[in-house]
Structure 1
Amino acid sequence: MQFPESWLRTFANPGLSTDELSHRLTMAGLEVEETAAAAPPFTGIVVAHIVEIAPHPDADKLRVCQVDDGSGSLLQIVCGAPNAAAGLKVPLARIGARLPGDMKISKAKMRGVESFGMLCSARELGISQDHGGLLELAADAQVGLSIREALDLDDTLFTIKLTPNRADCLSILGVAREVAALTGVPLIMPAFDAVPVELEDRLAVDVQAPDLCGRFAGRVVRGVNARAATPAWMKSRLERAGQRSISALVDISNYVMLELGRPTHVFDLQRVDGGLTVRWARSGETLELLNGQTVTLEPDVGIVAAGGMPESLAGIMGGEASAVTLDTTDIYLEAAFWWPEAIMGRSKRFKFSSEASHRFERGVDFDSIPQHLERMTRLIIDICGGQAGPIDDQIVNLPPRAPVDMRLARCHRILGVPVEQSEVERIFTSLNLPFTLQDGVFTVTPPSYRFDIFIEEDLIEEVARVYGFERIPDLPPLARAEMRVAPETLRGPHALRRIMAGLDYQEVVNFSFVEEAWETDYAGNSDPIRLLNPIASQLAVMRSGLIGGLVANIVHNANRKQSRVRVFELGRVFARDASVGDTDLTVAGVDQPQRLAGAAWGPAVDEQWGTPTRHVDFYDVKMDVEVLLGEQAGGLVCVAATHPALHPGRSARLVLDGRDIGWLGELHPRLAQKAELTHAPVVFEVDVQAISAARLPQPTEVSRQPIVVRDLAVWVDVKVSYQDLLGTLSQTIASNATLSVIKDIKLFDVWRDKAAGDVSEKSMAFHFWLQDPEVTLDDARVEQCMSLLLQALVSAHGVRLRA
């Protein structure tokens, strides 16, 4: 928020320099991001009066002016400004003056006519970008007075960076309250005297949505002159606060917003059909806004309607249909309290922001609405004239002001400083926080303009701010350090990240909120968790999987000519689960497990002369998953299954020791085509909790006996998988002590005899490694083991030995 220091000092004027005031505000939590001069340095420029004007004898666009600069004699100035006219008071740069940019003014001759100075525009003085003509000064400006003094150009512009909780400081009055509390100077409030009521006219208002509007007040004013000029003092303050002057009525509304933090709206009474209705929009309704944008409304957007048609977005922006113009004579002034929850995120949905929504979504004072309306009415009548009707004030549903307790002992413990009880009383009094005190406990009732005080720590923060952070000694905390042994079987997130990085994957961190289409495409989720206040319209739902974000990362890199991409992410996903309760670490109805996902795209290895180039496939990534699992990989089983994001014939559900832990597969061709990828990446996603508990390695004695290797090849039905055979062999070995010498099994060949024309069978060949830790195996014992294994396969799967 930007404002001139001079405006602030009309409310609270401490005996501090600009730098001291800036430092005091910053240390109290209102960070002064920047201070800048209202005008650049220049000298020798005074108020001058154009007495006479005549055409230049040799130039059509130049005129010769006789100017009174207060020195007692007229100066001859040659000027080409289109608005130069006799009787105007304008800035004059005398001979010897220095303009911004260190431009020095000297005597000049222009087309044969001498000029003893220069008449200046606002841009030449560096106070605005207006270069359409001379800067016209007030008629009562004192001739010969320095222009810096006449226009108060030795002012400083403050730019304050406010935290979102301090909505009460989004006004000059709000910042002045802080200055008064910090320095002890009195707070000078503007006049809120009631304007004489000269009309009985009223406009009917029906508030149908108490969860949208808690209080609505307004009044009719007739006979205003919308073409009246905005006073120079008001225009100057608006411009120095970053606002462009538009018209008197609009300027007054903006002025009250900046001065008091009260966004208001001015309706053209002649363009409002009947009374006003405050309600939620109906789906499909449209509204043309003051910025020229036409928006389509949804039922969660509040509006003010007239004659059944939307006239303005509640708390955000007015509509074009009822906007005031320079021909407006009768107006309706509106000031309301809109619930912050009803305004949050709505303007971002329409891809714009407004000063009003910025304030209302943070909370605006609901108690001072009538006084602020009186202030605005007085300004309108003083500037534009007119007669005012009575104020209609409807109190519908106001926020409760729940008292908050603060224990003095708790305050001392948090701050580490024994702030005296009398000092705390002074601080709360200076901040206008009403309190009662009993047994060392302050009970504070937050005022109507403070929407940031809910818990005990909020009050402790107020004490710390005003007491002064610089007064709190910077002593290091003392704590007993207790070293704890990390469990050997627990693999935390950092360990998992190290493993993935060692596998040549690059970690990414994506948003937890994603496009709704991603949830449908990559997770098959038709009911995702929606955000109440999305940071962007396309990022409207919470993710229930990580694959979509990784595919987007691959697309981003592919579009930038990267041919090989390996990325992974470890993060939370969000799904509806009615069994989840509301605790310190959980949200009711929302399951938030951690997942680890990876994606590989491009060549299996970097291009090199020793290895033929081939694209990464299912088994490459399956090996990466097995390395990630470590000792647990022996219990991993890939079960063929379908997933919305994966290729129907190249995807598997990952099962670890009988428990589903995730998915592995090639991206669905439809999604790869949609992402405009030349070939599909291979992706996986696993549950972090399921893979975090590693198995503790069990040391065994190394056998001195030789290993015997035997092969077994069998014919089996094509529908029988290797996993089925391996499961049968493992179960047989576990149930028969004779087979305990079988140490390992590997499939090394799969063959189909297509020449025979019979493809109903396939040949599968296995290596078996046998070893006894005590004695050397003889042929008879080996053949007995192989016979038992073959019998088990014949019984379970009907295999036959391949000759």
Structure 2
Amino acid sequence: MDLTPNRGDCLSLVGMAREVGVLNQLPVKTLDIPAIPAQSNEVFPVELVSPEDCPRYVGRVLRGINPQATTPAWMASKLARSGIRCIDPVVDVTNYVLLELGQPMHAFDLSKLEGRILVKKAEQGETIRLLDGSDATLNDDTLVIADDKGALAIAGIMGGESSSVTETTTDIFLESAFFQPLSIVGRARNYGLHTDSSHRFERGVDWQQQVRAIERATQLLLDIVGGQPGPVIEAVSVEHLPLQPVVRLRHDRVDAMLAMAMPADVIEDILARLGMTLTSDVEREWSVSVPSYRFDITLEVDLIEEIARVYGYDNLPVRTPMAQLPLPPIPEAKVAVSRLRQHLISRGYQEAITYSFIEIGLAKQFDPEHEPLALANPISAEMAVMRTTLWPGLMKAVLYNQNRQQTRIRLFETGQRFISSDAGLTQQNVVAGVIVGNRDAEGWTAGKDKVDFFDLKGDVESLLGLGGQGAQFSFVASQHPALHPGQTAAIELQGQVVGYIGALHPQLVHELDVSSAAFLFEIDLDAALSGRLSRYVALSKFPEMRRDLSLVVDQAVSFSTVKAIVAKTAGEFLKNMRLFDMYQGQGIEAGRKSLALGLTWQHPSRTLTDEEINNSVNAVVSALSQECGASLRD
């Protein structure tokens, strides 16, 4: 049986019985809990120092219990079937009341208490040893139960070892309290805890049943371990107790939201079965008093939701919604994200979906230039900040697969990265990818070579070419904190950096324990999806003219620089330019390299002459010589 977080009232046998009775129109038996008369006048004083966090605290002294008594078999069996192990009769009774009524309770050894009970905030740095044997250093926003010596328990979460009930305990002080949900939410997680008590207090317990719970526990304890109960004491701050809401419900609103004419007697019957009190001073309207155990009902729509749920969603009429559903126009030139994904899949990649939350250490390693946005209530330390790049999640996926003997990994992801600045939070859509391991998939003809920078660059170039303007992008040598200093390029579009590509930095390779070199890219998604409308151009019927150039340039000169110069000076009829060889070694002086280019010209309406081609070649060679010191190879 699964419960949503808003239904804390069902975290008990009484609550579940109440819900089953409502849904099946069955009467629910009420648990008869008589008030146990006091046999002594002894009380232990209680002071609410933080009444806004604990507006009601109920206690009772019980002396002379039998420490040799054992938990009866019927109770032990019920606790075991509920997943709770037996400890001793006193603790078992408090656990039983927790399951039965949904009210967490605690029992202190009275002989270990000094002075009075104080319900207050902890001192910053105060320590307490808990019942599970762990030591907790408390924050000053944590509510504790204390006596004159110090903290006895973390309120609503777990008791302390110093005041715990043992096999020699003969006198106890029973606690039954109401803690405001916001005072408990997140506190257990701060100390690495999650208990049955915190689970219930976080969702809200009935703030009117504390006395009823302590009477039930007293009844059970007297039957099992005996003893002499003192009077029930109650410390309460009425102004801090939750208000019992009275919600206005309009019949017309019910009919409109459920798209049917709901009879008034059906509405009244459903709400009455849910424990609500109805009064009506206006025709077709009710004032509905919500019971104290329903923290999730404060608005009219909450009541209508309950009516629909109990009436049965399957019994409501099905109607097509009458609404305008405008579809936003999509630029015709823009590449669809689905096409981008399919393209990468066709090139051997697999799509990954990773968390937007990462650990702060990983965020600093991959992107130290941006301060990550910290979460107020992180799920864990490994998910404490918002990612500023998709690379950490992809690399964790790589490591996960490598640890499972995967030797060839190609992953990509589309998602958001979150950049925090003085101007606010920027959420940027990006596409990122990583390749690791063998170049070819395993097979008879597969080679043993590992992937390199140019394998990834080829994939990225094909991706950027989907929109028909791949030539507008350029790869410029650059630096990035997460990438290898000598194998990093910025991806530029019209002079603006839109992404990065490169090998993972050797230091990160070592720290992450990656088995082989990893190559990554990340590009702004809008830039990657940008394109231009294609237009029909007739195929030329005239021959192509090709010239091959073997150039010698400095080692630092990139092909993109050479390509830009050639495109600028070769003339309008240059159809294609291809780098088909690169050479370094014998015959080439140190610090230089040889690039072999294939240049193809074609005119759409006539045959180009040798003189025109030679003039273009000479212009290219001259420009290369002047702008990047290139010379023709002998």
Q: TM-score range by the shorter chain?
A: 0.7 to 0.9
Contact 1:199 1:390 in 2 (8 A): no
**1:771 maps to what in 2?**
602
Q: How many residues align?
A: 626
Residue-by-residue CA offset, 1:88-143 (whole Å, 9 max, x unaligned): xxxxxxxxxxxxxxxxxxxxxxxxxxxxxxxxxxxxxxxxxxxxxxxxxxxxxxxx
Q: Which residue of 2 aligns with 1:685?
A: 522
Following superposition, the deviation at residue 748 of structure 1 comes to 3.9
**Aligned residue in 1 for 2:88:** 247
Q: What SS does the corresponding residue of 2:55 show, helix, strand or coil?
A: strand
Moved more, 517-526 or 249-258: 517-526
Q: Give the distance between the partners of 1:627 and 1:454, measured in 2 at CA.
A: 56
Aligned match for 2:372, one of 502, 521, 528? 528
SS at 2:271 equivalent: helix
Task: Note closer, same or farther for the CA distance 1:481–1:705 as it changes in structure 2 (3 Å cut).
Answer: farther
Partner of 2:353: 509
User: What CA distance in whole angstroms lies between the structure 1 residues aligned with 2:369 and 2:263?
Assistant: 58
- C-alpha distance in 2, partners of 1:776/1:327? 109
Partners of 2:64 and 2:399 lie apart in 1 by: 60
Letter in 2 for 1:741: F
CA-CA distance at 1:242 after TM superposition: 4.5
Q: Distance in 2 between matches of 1:540 and 1:202?
A: 43
1:650 CA drift (Å): 1.3
1:116-515 mapped onto 2 (5 Å cutoff): 160-182=1-23, 183=25, 185=27, 188-191=30-33, 193=35, 195-196=37-38, 198-199=40-41, 201-208=43-50, 210=52, 213-227=53-67, 228-230=69-71, 234=75, 237-239=78-80, 241-281=82-122, 285-297=126-138, 301-307=142-148, 309-347=150-188, 353-380=194-221, 384-389=226-231, 391-395=233-237, 397-399=240-242, 407-434=250-277, 440=284, 444=288, 446-469=290-313, 471-472=315-316, 475=318, 477=320, 488-515=332-359
SS in structure 2 at match of 1:698: coil
Report deviation, 1:168: 0.3
In structure 2, the CA distance between the partners of 1:597 and 1:298, relative to structure 1 (3 Å rule), is farther
Aligned pair 1:741/2:578, yes or no? no
Cα deviations by residue, 1:308-362 (Å, 9 ceiling, x for unpaired): 6442222121111111123323333323333434434554565553211221122
Structure number with greater CO (CA < 8 Å, separation at least 6) is 2
SS at match of 1:424: helix
| CA distance 1:216–1:545, change in 2 (3 Å) | farther
Counterpart CA distance in 2 for 1:757 and 1:693 is 43
Equivalent residue runs for 1:570-581 within 5 Å: 570-576=414-420, 579=423
C-alpha distance in 2 between matches for 1:681 and 1:172: 55
Q: Is the 8 A contact 2:17 2:28 kept in 1?
A: no
The whole-number CA distance in structure 2 between the counterparts of 1:440 and 1:525 is 62
Stretch moving more, 419-428 or 271-280: 271-280
Please name the residue that 1:601 is paired with. Answer: 436
Is structure 2 residue 456 aligned with structure 1 residue 621? yes
TM-score (normalizing by structure 1): 0.69
Q: Deviations over 1:360-399 (max 9, x none)?
A: 1222122333443344445545653224255242437445
Distance across 2 between alignment mates of 1:783 and 1:573? 51
Separation (CA, whole Å) in 2 of partners of 1:412 and 1:513: 43
Q: Does 1:553 align with 2:397?
A: yes
Distance verdict in 2 for CA 1:752–1:525, change over 3 Å: closer
State the one-letter code of the partner of 1:702: L
- The alignment partner of 1:740 has SS state of coil
The 8 Å contact of residues 202 and 392 in structure 1, kept in 2 or not, is answered as no
Q: Residues 621 and 381 (structure 1 numbering): CA distance in 2 closer, same or farther, change over 3 Å?
A: same
C-alpha deviation, 1:414, in angstroms: 4.2
Over 3 Å counting, the alpha-carbon distance change for 1:617 and 1:284 in structure 2 is farther
> After superposition, where does 1:89-104 map in structure 2 within 5 Å?
none
Q: Which amino acid aligns with 1:615?
A: K
Deviation, structure 1 residue 561: 2.4
Letter in 2 for 1:554: V
Query: Does structure 1 residue 518 correspond to structure 2 residue 362?
Result: yes
Matched, 1:634 2:478: no
2:176 aligned partner, one-letter code: A
Matching of residue 563 in structure 1 with residue 563 in structure 2: no
Whole-Å separation in 1 of the counterparts to 2:530 and 2:587: 50
In structure 2, the CA distance between the partners of 1:439 and 1:572, relative to structure 1 (3 Å rule), is farther
Aligned AA for 1:504?
A: G
- Secondary structure of 1:361's aligned partner: helix
Match of residue 785, structure 1, among 569, 592, 616: 616
> Structure 1 residue 253: deviation in Å?
1.4
Residue number in structure 2 paired with 1:103: none
Going from structure 1 to structure 2, the CA distance change for 1:170 and 1:796 (only over 3 Å counts) comes to same
Structure 1 letter corresponding to 2:498: I
CA distance in structure 1 between the aligned counterparts of 2:284 and 2:484, rounded to whole angstroms: 68
Moved more, 684-693 or 396-405: 396-405
- Aligned equivalents of 1:666 and 1:191: distance in 2? 71
The answer to whether the 8 A contact 1:271-1:321 is kept is yes
Amino acid across the alignment from 1:694: G
Distance 1:676 1:220 in 2: 59
SS at 2:176's partner residue? strand
CA RMSD after TM alignment:
3.6
Larger radius of gyration: 1
Check whether the contact 1:282–1:299 (CA below 8 A) recurs between aligned residues.
Answer: yes
Q: Report deviation, 1:167.
A: 0.8
Distance 1:527 1:371, change over 3 A: farther
Residue type at the aligned position of 1:255: Y
What code does the residue aligned with 2:452 have? D
Q: CA deviation at 1:455?
A: 4.8
Instruction: After superposition, give the CA deviation of every residue in 1:442-470 in whole Å (9 maximum; x if it has no partner).
Output: 56454332122255543222102322345
- Residues of 2 paired with 1:771 and 1:725: CA distance? 21
Task: Name the CA shift for 1:264/1:531 in 2 (closer, same or farther; >3 Å).
Answer: farther
Contact 1:226-1:248 at 8 Å conserved across structures: no
Q: Secondary structure at the match of 2:9?
A: helix
Please give the TM-score of this superposition, normalised by the length of structure 2: 0.86
